Every structure is written in structure tokens, then in C-alpha cells.
């Protein structure tokens, strides 16, 4: 294995009607990595992925994907990349088998039938081969889409929110499959909204409003975000939540079972906010180190431009 | 660079989708039948027992069997036998008869010699629509009447072109190209309507459903998509043509006089031209609704300026210019020449190459318009 990154792009920029949607985006994804791509809705993740696989022409920037020029060699890039679109984009009026055969033929694969049989089997779709794709549930559609973008054994997988709207069991199975591919040396760039998925990534790039804000090893993300946090325990959790919200001064308020975690980037404001819950029955306030959960909530709820108001998110269950 | 296997992949996929899309499939087969029925009602306003005068300037077994066949037919009711042309004309003008059928001198002699004598049919074509059925029928009646005689003819006269020529002379509406031309013209209209409509959403539908994204993320090329997506509908075009030709013969008694080979060459080009026109629309239209609107934008001149509705020669120059740019104008000429006049390759060449040029221009435009990105 050589050390050159599978994706190595610099300054990628995309404008839609004068509005810059992706702004000087750099990314280096090493071979075999599972790279998480995080960001609020509309931050430019899909646009970036489309530029990487040649579906959108960048307005600026340059780079290589699988050692091929991202601006000039998109035909050859397409042959070696598997792209799973955010929205299901296979044919609802074709059966599972027909969809896979269609895609396999477009990649000019030989023995299409065997390949499709193998793909159906490995994804547990054999029994449903004749079912029309449009009649499948979300989880099965997602399996089919993954099978379709894996059929030509790509070296790079681009997965755009692959598990949105899929039940937890299907999501776990999906991630098992991704880790198996990674073990075989397949590189993956995956955008997601789910924290339990983000933690499975080796590295995470965080993008907001087209700009990359963070790019770090997953374990280093809380440090990068720089949050201070408190853990509050009291039987009167609802009252505590109400008081904290009206006091403000923090960025994240999340309930973890019988406790509330409150976190913010400004340590003084956070300390001040704690005064609002003084005097509640059996209250215990503990300073904790902000973890991936708090960092994740902070990032995904768009707190980056919302320092004034505390944001509440429930985690767990 | 172009991969046959990828074209085949797109082709097969379209075929399956076409088969599953029952309503559209039904429309493509029903439209010809519906159009024909509608026009059929207009044409076939019971043109039975039309009062007819005959003038026989020759006498012999052929003439007599023709007369007998005319008597037996539902279309003509022979009410008078006249001996001078002037008398026949007078009856026709007075409206006492609708047809005057004239067998010329030496008809039998010329027939046997293979000189293709003429049977003159003068028609009161002031109602061209009502007149078309019997005119077509006359041809067929004559053909059948002579069938037994044909067997006795020298070999070279049998088969192929009939050994006589039915010359139809429309009185009072000499420019009324309509009548007999409606059904062959309808073939052009039906193919234009359905084929453009169906291909105009070829790409638009993929864009609307979002399937274009998965499609374009594969190595498939623009030209492969274009060919794969249009060729399945060539089959549909041929099926529709078969329906119309069958109906033309069985219901309206319109013969197919010419050589099928040049006709099919022109038909193939014409079907292809319509598919390319529709495909070009689908590279422009953003929604299926827009595609429909653009399709109708093509229909109007196709019906009005192609010579289907109004005689081409009578149109102003600018309208003729637009007409010449439409594939249907050329196709209508070919159909009429071949079906009604028995023309061959040589006569229709002048209308086949313009269709070829149109096809080439349209496919180049489509390929230029088509983006393999989502921009
Ligand atoms: N084809 C397009 N034309 C115009 N604007 C677009 C287009 N695609 C995306 N956008 C806009 O670009 C921004 C980024 O979109 P997207 O890349 O889909 O974000 P994400 O995937 O992170 O949710 C959004 O504001 C979106 O509305
Ligand atoms: Mg997106």
C-alpha cells in the first residue's frame, strides 16, 4: 500500500448562482480510512461529495482522487468509485435484480449474472430479487443502494447520509459491512447525522456554511471544539431545565438518563448559568470533561452561530 | 469509446420500464386506433350507394366485368350510362351523380399490351372527406374485377404494378389534396405525436425522480444514454405504422401501391427524427410538464404547416420554410408518393435526405445539450 491519500483535494469551491456553497475545501483521506463527514443540513456535504466523484464541476480548486485528476479524469474516477446518493436514486419500477444488473452492465463487468447473484447473497437480498425496488422499505432500499455501488468492487466508497431514516438494527448491520470493507482496504467517506455513526469513524471533517471548521481524529474532536461542561443531578430535572433555559449562557443542554449535561465554550458564562439552579432539592452540580456527545450536539445543532441561546437536545433512547 | 454493452444496458432497462408503464404503453397503442376511428367517422359518413354515371368507350370482357363489379359494390350505384363526355360532365355538375367513371377507347387492347390504360374517375370532390372512401374503393374494385383476367395475361404483366392506371379527377376542388391523403397523413401525425411525447420525458423523468444521479455516477456516456433510451421506441413506431397501414387497407380501402423498401427506409428515418426531437426536448425541459408544453409547441406546426391540413404549395413562403424544417413534411410527401402513386427510391430521394439531415442535426444538438454533471 502506498501512502498517497485516496482523496487529496485542495481549495474545492462551488457556487450556485453567485452563492458560495462550498468554500475552499481541503481534504486528505488516507487509504483504508473511514472518514466521517459532518455538518448541519445545507452546509455543503452533498455538493462536496458530488465534486469528488465528478458529478459537479468545481468552480475552483484542484486535486486527485485515486491518483486521478479530479477536474479532468472524472470518467476514470467513476469506474473506481462507488457513490451512494443521499436520496434513493435507483429505479422504483425495476426489480432488485434488474437494478443491479443494469448497474453492473454500465460498469462493463463480465459475468454480470454471477456478480449480481453474489451481491444479492452477501447483502441477504436473494429472496427479494424479484421485488420491485419501489416497494421496499427504507432499510432494504439502503441495502440495495449499497449493493449497487459495491457491485464493481470500487476502491473508494462515497456514502451520503446512507442511514437516514433507517432503523437502528439495519444501521448496525450497515456499519458492520462498512467496517468489513475497510478491513479489505476500501476507503470510505461517509456523511452522517448520527453520533453513534460518527464515533465509528477514524477521522471526522466538520463543515458548516461551506467552510471546513474541524478536521481531526475522532477522539480529539472534544478538544478541538473546546467545550466546558457540567453534570447536574436533581429529582426536579424539568424545573432545572426550565431555569437553565431562561438563564442562557451555554450552548448545549442534553439529558442523559437522570442527569442533565450543560456545556458551553465560555467558562464564565457557564458558571453564571449554574447559579440559576441553586437551591433546587438534592441538587448536585459536577464539573466534567466535555465528551464526544456534547461536542457532537454542539456541532450538529448549528450552535456555531447560535451562542446566545442555549440549545436543548435529548440524547439516548 | 462507445460501449455496446452499456447501450444494451440502457436499452434493456428502458424496455422493461416501458413494459411496466402500462398507461403509457396503452396510450401508444391506443392513440393510432383512436385517431383512426375519429377520422374514420369523419371520412366514412356512409359514402354508400353514391350515384354514379359510367361512360364505356370500349366493349369487351374486361369492361363488362368491371361494370359488374361496380354494380355489386356498396359504394357505387350506377344510375346512368352516358355516351358523351359532355353529358357526363353535365350530370356531375348538376349534382345528379357524384361520380363519372370513364373507360377509354382501346382499353382492352392497351391492357393486354401492358400499356397501362387509364380508367378515368371524375369525382364531385366538393366534399372531399365524403369522397375519399369511394375513390379508394374504385381502385380496389377495378383491381379485383380484373383479377381473373390477370391470370390469363403474359407473365410480365402479373404482380407488381397493376396493368391499368386509375386516374382520379377531382372536379370543383382540384387542389383538395385532403380526401385520400388524410389516412396516410394521419400516420405521420400519429408517429409525431406519440414518439415525441414519449421521448420528451426520457431524461426529464430521470431528473425528476432523482435517478439521474446514480446513472451519471457510472461510466455511461451521453451518446450511450441517447441511443439506449431512444431505440426501444423504434419498435413502437413500427407497431403503430402496422396498425395504421392495416386500418388504411381494411377500413378505408386505401391500397399500398408502391415498393415497401423505400417506404420503410423513409419510415425508419422519420421515426428516428421524432425520437431525436423528443430527446432534444428532454435535455432542455426541467419538468415533465415543461416537456409536454414543448411537445405541443412542435405539434402545432406539424399539423398546420406540414401539408397535412392545408396544401403545402398554397402556403406563404415563410410557412413553407418552417414546414421544410419539420421531418413530418418530408415524410408526408414520401407516404403519399409511395402509397398512392407507387413511387420508388428515385422519386422520394429528395425527401429522404432532408430527414437524414434533421436527424443528424438533432442528435448533435442533444449531445451538446446533455451534461454529464448535475450542474
Ligand atoms: N443544484 C443546486 N442549485 C442551487 N443550489 C444548490 C444546489 N445543490 C445544493 N444547493 C444549495 O447548496 C447548499 C448546500 O447543499 P448540500 O450540499 O446539499 O448540503 P448538505 O448535503 O450538507 O445538506 C444548500 O443551501 C443547497 O440549497
Ligand atoms: Mg446532503
In the prediction, which pLDDT does A317 show? 27
Atom of ligand 1 lying closest to residue A17 CA: 4
Task: Please give the Cα distance from B327 to B165 (Å, whole number).
Answer: 30
**Whether the CB of A210 sits within 6 Å of ligand 1:** no
Cβ contacts of A144 on chain B, cutoff 8 Å: none
Q: What percent of chain A has pLDDT over 70?
A: 94
Is A56 within 8 Å of B209 when comparing Cβ atoms?
Answer: no
ipTM of this complex prediction, to 2 decimal places: 0.86
In the prediction, which pLDDT does A194 show? 82
- Whether residue B318 contacts residue B305, with contact meaning beta carbons closer than 8 Å, is answered with no
User: Residues A284, A287, A288, CA angle at the centre, nearest 5°?
Assistant: 115
Give A13-48 pLDDT, tens digit per residue.
999 999 999 999 999 999 999 999 998 888 999 999
**Whether the CB of A135 sits within 6 Å of ligand 1:** no
Is A94 within 8 Å of B3 when comparing Cβ atoms?
Answer: no
Which residues touch B160 (CB under 8 Å, ≥6 apart)?
none
> What Å distances lie between residue B146 and A94, A263, B95, CA to CA?
57, 104, 30
In the prediction, which pLDDT does B353 show? 93
Q: Does A135 reach chain B within 8 Å, measured CB to CB? A: no
CA nearest ligand 1 atom 18, residue: A46
The alpha carbon of residue A195 is apart from the nearest alpha carbon of chain B, in Å, by 27
The alpha carbon of residue B208 is apart from the nearest alpha carbon of chain A, in Å, by 11
Q: Cα dihedral sign for A208, A214, A220, A224?
A: negative
Task: Please give the Cα distance from A42 to A218 (Å, whole number).
Answer: 22
Other beta carbons less than 10 A from residue A101's beta carbon: 22
> What Å distances lie between residue B149 and B59, B104, B143, B144, CA to CA?
15, 18, 10, 10
Is B20 within 8 Å of A93 when comparing Cβ atoms?
Answer: yes
Name the average pLDDT for chain A.
89
Q: What is the second-level CATH architecture of the domain A7-218?
A: 3-Layer(aba) Sandwich (3.40)
In the prediction, which pLDDT does A312 show? 35
- Whether residue A97 contacts residue A120, with contact meaning beta carbons closer than 8 Å, is answered with yes
Q: For strands A252-256 and A228-233, give the pairing.
A: unpaired
In the prediction, which pLDDT does B302 show? 92
- Whether residue B289 contacts residue B232, with contact meaning beta carbons closer than 8 Å, is answered with no
Q: Does B19 reach chain A within 8 Å, measured CB to CB? A: no
- Among A21, A159, A192, A211, the mutation site with the greatest number of ligand 1 atoms within 8 A of its Cβ is A21
Report which bound ligand comes closest to the CA of A19.
1
Task: Please give the Cα distance from A249 to A273 (Å, whole number).
Answer: 6
Q: Does A73 reach chain B within 8 Å, measured CB to CB? A: no
Residue linked to cell 481531526: A216
Q: What is the grid cell recorded at A304?
A: 456555531
**Whether the CB of A12 sits within 6 Å of ligand 1:** no
In the prediction, which pLDDT does B173 show? 41
In the prediction, which pLDDT does B346 show? 84
Atom of ligand 1 lying closest to residue A47 CA: 17
Q: What is the grid cell recorded at B238?
A: 413500427
Nearest by CB to B219, which of A85, A89, A106?
A106
- Whether residue B127 contacts residue B160, with contact meaning beta carbons closer than 8 Å, is answered with no
CA nearest ligand 1 atom 26, residue: A42
Intrachain domains A7-218 and A227-289 with the same fold: no
Q: How far is the CA of A194 from the centre of ligand 1 (A)?
A: 20
Q: Does B41 reach chain A within 8 Å, measured CB to CB? A: no
In the prediction, which pLDDT does B341 show? 67
Distance of CA A177 to the CA centre of its chain: 16
Task: Please give the Cα distance from A12 to A51 (Å, whole number).
Answer: 8
- Whether residue B218 contacts residue A108, with contact meaning beta carbons closer than 8 Å, is answered with no
List, in sequence order, every residue forming a beta bridge with A190; answer none if it has no partner.
Answer: A36, A159
Nearest by CB to A89, which of B6, B13, B214?
B214
Q: How far is the CA of A51 from the centre of ligand 2 (A)?
A: 13
Q: What is the pTM of this model?
A: 0.77
Higher pLDDT, A126 or A106: A106
Among A159-173, A292-306, B39-53, the minimum mean pLDDT is found in B39-53
- Among A12, A16, A17, the mutation site with the greatest number of ligand 1 atoms within 8 A of its Cβ is A16
Mean pLDDT score, A120-134: 89
**Whether the CB of A16 sits within 6 Å of ligand 1:** yes
Above 80 in pLDDT, residue A11? yes
Is A107 within 8 Å of B374 when comparing Cβ atoms?
Answer: no
DSSP code string of A204-226: EEEEETTEEEEEEEGGGHHHHHT
Other beta carbons less than 10 A from residue A145's beta carbon: 23
User: Where in chain A are the domains?
Assistant: 7-218, 227-289
Task: Please give the Cα distance from A146 to A101 (Å, whole number).
Answer: 14
DSSP summary character for residue A61: E
In the prediction, which pLDDT does B199 show? 92
**Whether the CB of A44 sits within 6 Å of ligand 1:** yes
Q: Does B8 reach chain A within 8 Å, measured CB to CB? A: yes
Report which bound ligand comes closest to the CA of A39.
1
- The full set of domains in chain B, from first to last, is 50-171 (3.40.1710.10), 179-374 (no CATH)
Q: What is the CATH number of domain A227-289?
A: 3.30.70.260
**Whether the CB of A200 sits within 6 Å of ligand 1:** no
CA nearest ligand 1 atom 3, residue: A16
Nearest by CB to A93, which of B3, B10, B17?
B17
Cβ contacts of B211 on chain A, cutoff 8 Å: 89-91
A-interface mutation test, from B205, B209, B218, most A Cβ less than 10 A away: B218
The alpha carbon of residue B1 is apart from the nearest alpha carbon of chain A, in Å, by 11
The alpha carbon of residue A90 is apart from the nearest alpha carbon of chain B, in Å, by 6
Low-confidence ranges of chain B (pLDDT < 50): 44-46, 129-130, 172-179
Amino acid at each position: 500500500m502506498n501512502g498517497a491519500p485516496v482523496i487529496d483535494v485542495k481549495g474545492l469551491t462551488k457556487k450556485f448562482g453567485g452563492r458560495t456553497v462550498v468554500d475552499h475545501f481541503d481534504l486528505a483521506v488516507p487509504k483504508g480510512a473511514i472518514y466521517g463527514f459532518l455538518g448541519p443540513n445545507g452546509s455543503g456535504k452533498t455538493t462536496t461529495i458530488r465534486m469528488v466523484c465528478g458529478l459537479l464541476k468545481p468552480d475552483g480548486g484542484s486535486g486527485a482522487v485515486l491518483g486521478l485528476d479530479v477536474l479532468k479524469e472524472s470518467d476514470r474516477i467513476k469506474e473506481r468509485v462507488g457513490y451512494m446518493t443521499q436520496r434513493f436514486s435507483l429505479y422504483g419500477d425495476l426489480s432488485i435484480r434488474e437494478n443491479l444488473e443494469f448497474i453492473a452492465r454500465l460498469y462493463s463487468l463480465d459475468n454480470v449474472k454471477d456478480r449480481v447473484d453474489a451481491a444479492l447473497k452477501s447483502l441477504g437480498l436473494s429472496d427479494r430479487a424479484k421485488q420491485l425496488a419501489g416497494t421496499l422499505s427504507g432499510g432494504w432500499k439502503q441495502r440495495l443502494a449499497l449493493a449497487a455501488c459495491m457491485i464493481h468492487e470500487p476502491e473508494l466508497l462515497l456514502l451520503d447520509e446512507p442511514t437516514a431514516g433507517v432503523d437502528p438494527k439495519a444501521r448496525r448491520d450497515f456499519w458492520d459491512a462498512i467496517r468489513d470493507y475497510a478491513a479489505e482496504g476500501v476507503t470510505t467517506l461517509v456523511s452522517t447525522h448520527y453520533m453513534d455513526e460518527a464515533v465509528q469513524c477514524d477521522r471526522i471533517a466538520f463543515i458548516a456554511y461551506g467552510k471546513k471548521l474541524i478536521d481531526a481524529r475522532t477522539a480529539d474532536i472534544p478538544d478541538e471544539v473546546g467545550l466546558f461542561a457540567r453534570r447536574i443531578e436533581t429529582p426536579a430535572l424539568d424545573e432545572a431545565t426550565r431555569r437553565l433555559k431562561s438563564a442562557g449562557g451555554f450552548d448545549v443542554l442534553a439529558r442523559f438518563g437522570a442527569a442533565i449535561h450543560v456545556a458551553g465554550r465560555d467558562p464564565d458564562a457557564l458558571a453564571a448559568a449554574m447559579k440559576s439552579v441553586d437551591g433546587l432539592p438534592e441538587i448536585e452540580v459536577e464539573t466534567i470533561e466535555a465528551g464526544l456527545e456534547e461536542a457532537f450536539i454542539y456541532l450538529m445543532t448549528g450552535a456555531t452561530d447560535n451562542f446566545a441561546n442555549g440549545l436543548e437536545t435529548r440524547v439516548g433512547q | 469509446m462507445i460501449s455496446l454493452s452499456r447501450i444494451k444496458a440502457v436499452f434493456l432497462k428502458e424496455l422493461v420500464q416501458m413494459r411496466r408503464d402500462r398507461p403509457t404503453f396503452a396510450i401508444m397503442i391506443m392513440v393510432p386506433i383512436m385517431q383512426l376511428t375519429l377520422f374514420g367517422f369523419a371520412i366514412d359518413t356512409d359514402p354508400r350507394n353514391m350515384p354514379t354515371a359510367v361512360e364505356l368507350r370500349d366493349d369487351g370482357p374486361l369492361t363488362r366485368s368491371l361494370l359488374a363489379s361496380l354494380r355489386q359494390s356498396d359504394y357505387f350505384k350506377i344510375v346512368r350510362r352516358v355516351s358523351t363526355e359532355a353529358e357526363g360532365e353535365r350530370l356531375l355538375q348538376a349534382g345528379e351523380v357524384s361520380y363519372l367513371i370513364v373507360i377509354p377507347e382501346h382499353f382492352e387492347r392497351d391492357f393486354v399490351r401492358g400499356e397501362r390504360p387509364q380508367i378515368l374517375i371524375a369525382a364531385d370532390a366538393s366534399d372531399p372527406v365524403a369522397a375519399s372512401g369511394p375513390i379508394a374503393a374504385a381502385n380496389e374494385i377495378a383491381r379485383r374485377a380484373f383479377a381473373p383476367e390477370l391470370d390469363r395475361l403474359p407473365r410480365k404483366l402479373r404482380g407488381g404494378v397493376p396493368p391499368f392506371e386509375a386516374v382520379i379527377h377531382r372536379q370543383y376542388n382540384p387542389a383538395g389534396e385532403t380526401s385520400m391523403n388524410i389516412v396516410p397523413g394521419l400516420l405521420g401525425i400519429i408517429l409525431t405525436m406519440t414518439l415525441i411525447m414519449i421521448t420528451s420525458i426520457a431524461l426529464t423523468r430521470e431528473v425528476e425522480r432523482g435517478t439521474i444521479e446514480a446513472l451519471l455516477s457510472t461510466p455511461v456516456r451521453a451518446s450511450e444514454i441517447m441511443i439506449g433510451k431512444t431505440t426501444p421506441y423504434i419498435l413502437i413506431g413500427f407497431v403503430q405504422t402496422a396498425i395504421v397501414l392495416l386500418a388504411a387497407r381494411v377500413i378505408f380501402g386505401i391500397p399500398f401501391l408502391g415498393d415497401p423498401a423505400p417506404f420503410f427506409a423513409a419510415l425508419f428515418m422519420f421515426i428516428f427524427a421524432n425520437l431525436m426531437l423528443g430527446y432534444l426536448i428532454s435535455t432542455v425541459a426541467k419538468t415533465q410538464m415543461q416537456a409536454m408544453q414543448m411537445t405541443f409547441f412542435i405539434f402545432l406546426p406539424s399539423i398546420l404547416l406540414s401539408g397535412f391540413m392545408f396544401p403545402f404549395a398554397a402556403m406563404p413562403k415563410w410557412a413553407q420554410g418552417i414546414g421544410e424544417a419539420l421531418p413530418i413534411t418530408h415524410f408526408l410527401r414520401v407516404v403519399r408518393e409511395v402509397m398512392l402513386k407507387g413511387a420508388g427510391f428515385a422519386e422520394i430521394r429528395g425527401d429522404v435526405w432532408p430527414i437524414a439531415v434533421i436527424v443528424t442535426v438533432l442528435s448533435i444538438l442533444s449531445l451538446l445539450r446533455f451534461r454529464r454533471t448535475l450542474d
